[in-house]
Amino acid sequence: MAEYKPPTTEAEFKKNFKQKKPLMNATEAFYESSRCLFCYDAPCIKACPTQIDIPLFIKQIHTDNVTGASKTIFDSNWLGNVCGVVCPTGVLCEGACVYNHQDVPPIQIGRLQNFATNKTINSEKNIFKVGDSNGKKIAIIGAGPAGIACACEARTLGFEVDIYEAKELPSGLNVHGVAPYKITNEEVLKEVEYLQKQLKFSIIYNTSIASKEQLKQLENDYDAIFLGVGLGKTRELRLEGEDKEGVIGAVEFIEELRMKHHKLVVPKRVVVIGGGNTAMDAASESARMGARKTVLTYRNSKDNMGAYGFEYDLAISAGVDSLFNVTPIAIVGNGKVEGVKFAKTEMIDGNLQTNMKNVFVVRCDLVIKATGQAKQGHLYDLIDNLDAGNNAIIKVNDETFQTSNPKYFAGGDAINGGSEVVNAAYDGKMAAQGIHSWLNK
Ligand SMILES: Cc1cc2nc3c(=O)[nH]c(=O)nc-3n(C[C@H](O)[C@H](O)[C@H](O)COP(=O)(O)OP(=O)(O)OC[C@H]3O[C@@H](n4cnc5c(N)ncnc54)[C@H](O)[C@@H]3O)c2cc1C
Ligand code: SF4
């Protein structure tokens, strides 16, 4: 089990957050690509949400046609480079590789994808073409993976595109959320820059679209609007003492970490509340930031956690402890967090019950709440006739990604409630095609 010292320099930070899927070299890529069996009806393609022609790009890598391989990848997925390292490949493309049935490690599809696209991005080769102008304009709200993918596809179809982004960097959770041992800020930003240079869409930063007036202006100025706003801040737990100093949402904690790196100080004892992938990331990251003791706590059993098994294993291998069947009932401390009071839970007749007779305190200096992100309902309420149901997840047509207000299209976390980058990339691309079909009707 690893033990990490608090990083005090960027070099130490990088050491603690060593890349899980490091860039392959040409020899490794040549060897790995030689393993592909080029299956008929390849199951890996079906398992990829963006349906990349995986056997084709692997063949292109093997024949040293790396630019061709990148074109194959980007033609299906505009975030092809990032996805190569952030996708949960074990449950997607690589999980479907036929080698799994033969007790042989699957082909490292993600790393090969990252190898090819990285090489092409670094070479600055132009491989995309802006479509002939169709005289129409699209406004995109949010420069996350969904918004960027929508912009790229729309430009190839001849639209003018402006993205309005609340923050000062593009790519949404790719720079603010995904664990730094999966991808670095530089790599994320390099891909967006590469795409933007060739496809020439504009991003207007530090501009949150948050009022009816702004939306009306966009409706007047543009032919269609794409909502790629993702999800919001970490949801409140409504626990006694939640407002104490030292209680933070996981998304906010990770965002600070992604921006400040070694300059973020993580105290010695951390409690993480939650059982999803974000909880695993937050726990793993606080351990890598040198917290002496990080305890992951979940209200149900290990088998009932929402997180992928490999994400849990990663947290444990970083030195995280876990505590199952406990629910937080209060945050204790005098102004500042000193611990979390938990009650044990037990499953009785299929219902999870809290046993208030079995209560104890876990001492800590920081509490990270990884209990889900709030939805962006406040924005949806401002849009006429936008159906987002009671749960504030925008409803769209499955094929065109058009919402109940025909001028608006949507994709990514805003329509699925929180999934993966690759899903957002798919939605954004398909929405641009949906807008194109609608405006050409
Ligand atoms: C902690 C964490 C770790 C994750 N790790 C992984 C991973 O390892 N692999 C993986 O595939 N997926 C991961 N995900 C999920 C993945 O990041 C998301 O599914 C994906 O980023 C969704 O893309 P999106 O474009 O829909 O939204 P986002 O990435 O959230 O982007 C939305 C953008 O819209 C902007 N915005 C929001 N509201 C407004 C507004 N009103 N006006 C202007 N701009 C606005 C935001 O600033 C943001 O830039 C993770 C998520 C989290 C929270
Ligand atoms: S985009 Fe993700 S799921 Fe699709 S082939 Fe690439 S790594 Fe696999």
Two tokens, residue 385:
């006739």
Whether residue 180 has its Cβ less than 6 Å from ligand 1: no
pLDDT of residue 2: 67
Candidates 275, 291, 254, 288; CA nearest to 366 is 291
CATH of the domain at 48: 1.10.1060.10
CA dist., res. 300 & res. 192, Å (int):
40
> Within this chain, do residues 221 and 194 fall inside the same structural domain, yes or no?
yes
Q: Whose CA is nearest to atom 8 of ligand 2?
A: 93
- Say if 91 falls within a structural domain: yes
Amino acid at 164: Y
User: Residue 130 domain-assigned?
Assistant: no
Q: Could you tell me the distance, in angstroms and rounded to a whole number, from the CA of residue 92 to the centre of ligand 2?
A: 7
Around ligand 2, the residues with Cβ closer than 6 Å are: 48, 50, 52, 54, 77, 83-84, 87, 89, 92-93, 109-110, 113, 422
Same-domain pairing of 26 and 100: yes
Same domain flag for 362 and 380: no
Q: What are phi and psi of 212, to 5 degrees?
A: -60, -35
Contact of 274 with 195, CB cutoff 8 Å: no
DSSP code at position 203? E
Whether 131 maps to a domain, the answer reads: no
Quick one: 83 and 169 in the same domain? no
In a shared domain, residues 327 and 404:
no
Distance 333 CA to ligand 1 centre (A): 33
Q: Ligand 2 pocket check: which of 45, 48, 73, 111 to mutate, most ligand atoms within 8 Å of Cβ?
A: 48
CA of 102 to the centre of ligand 1 (A): 36
Question: How many structural domains comprise the chain?
Answer: 3
Q: Considering 123, 148, 173, which residue would you say is the last residue of a domain?
A: 123
The answer as to whether 280 is a domain residue is: yes
Phi, psi of 165 (to 5 degrees): -125, 130
Do residue 175 and residue 284 come from a single domain? no
Q: Which domain holds residue 262?
A: 247-369
Kindly give the parts of the chain with pLDDT less than 70: 1-2
Q: How far is the CA of 250 from the centre of ligand 2 (A)?
A: 26
Looking at 369, 392, 417, which one is the last position of a domain?
369
pLDDT of amino acid 3: 83
Q: Are residues 257 and 225 in the same domain?
A: no
Task: For residue 348, report the phi and psi dihedrals to the nearest 5 degrees.
Answer: -125, 120
Q: What is the pLDDT of residues 127-164, one digit of tens each?
A: 999 999 999 999 999 999 999 999 999 999 999 999 99
- Of 436, 438, 437, 388, nearest to 416 by C-alpha is 388
pLDDT score of 133: 98
